[in-house]
Structure 1
Amino acid sequence: MLWAKDDAMNPTSPHGDAATSHTDATSAPEPTGPLKGLRVLDLSRILAGPACTQWLGDLGCDVVKVERPGRGDDTRHWGPNYVHDTNGDPTLESAYYLSANRNKRSLAVDIAKPAGAALIRELVPHFDIVVENFKVGGLARYGLDYASLRPLHPGLIYCSITGFGQSGPYAHRAGYDYLAQGMGGFMSLTGAPDGEPIKAGVAVADIMCGMFACNAIVAALYHRERSGEGQYLDLSLLDSQVGMLFYEGLNYLSTGEIPVRRGNGHPNIVPYQVFEASDGYFILAVGNDDQFKRFCVFAGLVELADDPRFATNNARVKNRTELTHLIAAQTTKKTAAQWIAGLEEIDVPSAPVNTMDRVFADPQVLHREMRITMAQTSAGNVPVDLIGNPMKFSKTPVNYRQSPPGLGEHTDSVLGEFLDLDPQALQALKDDGVI
């Protein structure tokens, strides 16, 4: 059985009687997601770890984010876009920070102080999962590594996220998304054929590593449900980036030929790229030979449909340059909207290249609740727009309970809830600079 928040329902839970209620429960709705009742102690910062723990929070976990007093997660300060409070003054919550930290409570503890590290060790038995992204061995000095915490909690699932993993010749290096994109081959595939290698517009290695970590944690929870034992999870940005190569990686492994940058083209499907219309750009994504024939008729290129150079996808891939020029000469004769509307009518996939304003005004995006609004409690409940969770459940839907927290916003309530610390004890810790 998964360890649950309600001890009366789960007599084998390690959480203890003090964990049956939440101090902040009156100010936020109860979780509804499938992981409701599980707790996460989040020692991560920047993006990969916080993305993982935000998804766990959306799925119902009670996530407590541990931050340095005074500064907190570095991304709080990654402006210039900040939340402004009711007086119009900027807060410590940047847009970057907001993107990965909802459904969490913030606990400000200085783990570099022995008393601070001791507080975290006391908290660990109340939690199911620890997520951290310190350098390899970085938490051992504080007694917060897996080897130190496992005796306190044999069922603990402990997830470490690093640039290069816990072993290997690069394990000691600091890791960043940009480095992983380059070293993992992604940038060699991205950009114009005659231009420089280009990274993705968002930190895909970080974000996908966070997703892989979330999946690994859920799998480890299932193992614990059957066996009762926790385990250590070792995730890295480079592993995640290499794991994302999929068909381009296999194109190389199958042939020994190094894939090249094709701009917006696809290595295995043609035409499957951006084309210029009379007023901008649109995406044409022809996935099979029947779609190509229908496209040719609509585009006024009917003679190409049965041309042996283009009639099959294999032929189109071999003759992509010539075909692309022929199509490009036609696409500028209509607007992007005309192409998209006409291609939709004949079931040929196409789409606009939306800027952010169009993305978040798109009726499908709005219908799927991918744009949400929450009251930012740390800024006087001013409304902030956030990106919704793409996971949809029929029985256990995600919900949005806590806006990205202010630094240390829940320190007193968390320590009071789990460790039963009274106001005098809390004040003493504050006086010593521990919290």
Structure 2
Amino acid sequence: MSAKTGALQGLKVIDLSRVLGGPYCTQAIADHGATVIKLEPPAGDETRGWGPPFVGETASYFEGVNRNKQGIVVDLTREEGREIVLQLLADADVLIENFKPGTLERWNMGYQQVLKSRFPKLIHCSISGFGPDGPLGGLPGYDAVIQAMTGLMSVNGEAGAGPLRVGLPIVDMVTGLNAFAGILLALHERALSGLGQSIDIALYDCGVSLLHPHLPNYFGSGKTPVRTGNAHPNIAPYDSYRTGSEPIFLAVGNDRQFLKLCTHLGASQLAADARFIDNRTRCAHRAELKEALEALLVTHECRALAAMLIREGVPCGPVQGVDDVARHPHTLHREMVVEMGAYRGTGTPIKLSRTPATYRSRPPALGADTVAVLDSLGIDQETQAKLIAAGVVKAR
């Protein structure tokens, strides 16, 4: 395989998902060479309208997770639309969807009832809020609601203040990554058994899975975790600290790093102080430690200090804004900003040495590839015209 094809070249994925978790997953799959056909309802993926900002008619939110895909519009509430999906599945490897559980069954397209026997090698990935069954089974779920219900908000925010949503849709994105992992697992197993299977990914499960170290801490102590702001509940010093300019974040994970920090600041005696001799004692005297460190740090400029400390083996960095990150030389060196003409997006963090990701096409306009995909299915132009006229499909 050449470096230009991608590790997933030859894989065909039918993407019925919308919003974030599913599209985040399928963009990762597409970046690594798979053919991804994204089906949208006639009104389009709702995130096309989640702006400002907009790029032309489309919100940047949509643009961020839908590159390298072919885009078609099919009304799946119509039997003729569902028949098109079944035709697409004839040679597909993966079907990913995030409909409310039971929707495919009502459309006579359920995995166990129809797809498993008709397409025995198909891998079906279902993303839902809470899974298909159980006390909350089948209920709708959005990222922020799941953050609230799974305890993420309860441990995020300043001590003494109220619970706070993590400032990005972390549950949706981790759900997308878990879906990606599940699909790769199923593909590996299929290579051995020759059979597909169904993958059940719930936002609720993914939210609970993120509760490290808070859930293990609760299991170990029986105490309900509390909000600690930027401070780590198990490590000190591991927090943001005032300097003579902007804040610096120190993530000192062991005694050796703590000694290096104190020595650089001209206060090696702190590392020998009985209150700070090891992580256990430092955690027990957080307030005194922070006061002592900030008294030293206030005489330093953040970025210059951080640059020196990290090169001495002390994990740290300035607290940067998104604009700083977008133009940082290391961001650009790591190819984490993708540019294709007027399109700018976030690069993949998965770097393969022999079959790297490629960026081949910007996110599709609504219905941009409908005609091309219908052509590939052998649907003649007269039939296509009837489908378009009836509103079953929409073409750009």
The TM-score with structure 2 as length reference comes to 0.96
Q: Which structure 2 residues correspond to residues 223-234 of structure 1 after superposition, within 5 A?
A: 223-234=189-200
Partner Cα distance (1:337, 1:123) in 2: 54
Question: Against the structure 1 CA distance between its residues 345 and 62, is the aligned structure 2 distance closer, same or farther, given a 3 Å change threshold?
Answer: closer
Q: Which structure 2 residues correspond to residues 23-422 of structure 1 after superposition, within 5 A?
A: 32-69=5-42, 71-83=43-55, 90-91=56-57, 93-146=58-111, 147-375=113-341, 383-417=342-376, 419-422=377-380
Q: State the superposition RMSD in angstroms.
A: 1.5
* 1:294-344 deviation line (CA, Å, top 9, x unaligned): 211222333212011101111101111211122122222211123213313
Partner Cα distance (1:73, 1:190) in 2: 30
Partner Cα distance (1:53, 1:64) in 2: 9
Tell me the equivalent position of 1:14: none
Question: 1:94: Cα distance to partner?
Answer: 0.9
Partner Cα distance (1:344, 1:153) in 2: 53
Runs of 4+ in 1 over 3 A off after TM superposition: none
Partner Cα distance (1:189, 1:424) in 2: 59
Tell me the equivalent position of 1:22: none
Stretch moving more, 297-306 or 217-226:
297-306
Question: 1:30: Cα distance to partner?
Answer: 10
The answer as to whether partners of 1:31 and 1:61 remain within 8 angstroms in 2 is no
> Aligned with 2:157: secondary structure?
coil
The answer as to whether partners of 2:310 and 2:317 remain within 8 angstroms in 1 is no
Partner Cα distance (1:143, 1:122) in 2: 14
* 1:28-81 deviation line (CA, Å, top 9, x unaligned): x99621111011000000000111111111121100000012x21000000111
Tell me the equivalent position of 1:6: none
* 1:169-207 deviation line (CA, Å, top 9, x unaligned): 101211010111111111111110111111111100000
What amino acid is aligned across from residue 67 of structure 1 in structure 2? E
* 1:225-266 deviation line (CA, Å, top 9, x unaligned): 100111011000010011122322111112211111110001
* 1:98-122 deviation line (CA, Å, top 9, x unaligned): 1110111011011111111111112
Question: 1:144: Cα distance to partner?
Answer: 2.6
Partner Cα distance (1:407, 1:286) in 2: 49
Partner Cα distance (1:252, 1:292) in 2: 27
Tell me the equivalent position of 1:426: 384
Partner Cα distance (2:202, 2:175) in 1: 7
Q: Structure 1: state its 5+ residue gaps.
A: 1-28, 84-89, 376-382
The answer as to whether partners of 1:271 and 1:286 remain within 8 angstroms in 2 is yes
Q: Structure 2: state its 5+ residue gaps.
A: none
Partner Cα distance (1:415, 1:152) in 2: 21
> Aligned with 1:404: secondary structure?
coil
Partner Cα distance (1:30, 1:254) in 2: 47
The TM-score with structure 1 as length reference comes to 0.87
Partner Cα distance (2:7, 2:282) in 1: 46
Partner Cα distance (2:311, 2:365) in 1: 49
What amino acid is aligned across from residue 135 of structure 2 in structure 1? P
Identical-residue share of aligned pairs (%): 40
Partner Cα distance (2:122, 2:102) in 1: 18
> Aligned with 2:137: secondary structure?
coil
Stretch moving more, 157-166 or 145-154:
145-154
Aligned residues: 391
Stretch moving more, 129-138 or 345-354:
345-354
Question: 1:356: Cα distance to partner?
Answer: 1.3
> Aligned with 1:107: secondary structure?
strand
Partner Cα distance (2:219, 2:366) in 1: 47
What amino acid is aligned across from residue 9 of structure 2 in structure 1? K
* 1:120-146 deviation line (CA, Å, top 9, x unaligned): 112211211000001110222222321
Tell me the equivalent position of 1:8: none
Partner Cα distance (1:126, 1:234) in 2: 22
Q: Which structure 2 residues correspond to residues 10-29 of structure 1 after superposition, within 5 A?
A: none
Stretch moving more, 406-415 or 182-191:
182-191
What amino acid is aligned across from residue 392 of structure 1 in structure 2? K
What amino acid is aligned across from residue 66 of structure 1 in structure 2? L
